[in-house]
Amino acid sequence: MFIIKVEANFSSAHNLRGYKGKCEELHGHNWKVEAEVISGKLDKAGMVLDFQYLKFKLNSILEKLDHKYLNKIAYFKKFNPTSENIAKYIYNTLSKTLIPKSNPATKLNSITVWESDKSSATYYDA
């Protein structure tokens, strides 16, 4: 099995509903996002997936979150904008458009969202 990863960043604000503590107040993060893709085979060029392609697809999602108040985005009106739910949102959105025809064995394995250098949440579809 082969694994590739890319990282990207976005900045946004949010507050957590139903949470007692500092995070219930409006605050922001400089989020780091790691996308991990796996495949049992390589394409004709000897790659799981072109890094540029993966970065482009990930960044196209993150652009919609960058410098936004996450609580106002439709998905996060229904789901609290926790790191866990942000990871799931990115995973679900990216997995719909990621797989290239050149290597159908490729699968998005996980999304990890870092809200600080020491705190992260990972989502993967089991």
List the catalytic residues: 23, 67, 115
Nearest to 33 by CA among 104, 97, 89, 102: 89
Query: Residue 18 phi/psi, 5° resolution?
Result: 70, 20
The residue count for the chain: 126
Tokens of 72: 């106002």
C-alpha to C-alpha distances, 53 to 10, 32, 94, nearest whole angstrom: 18, 18, 12
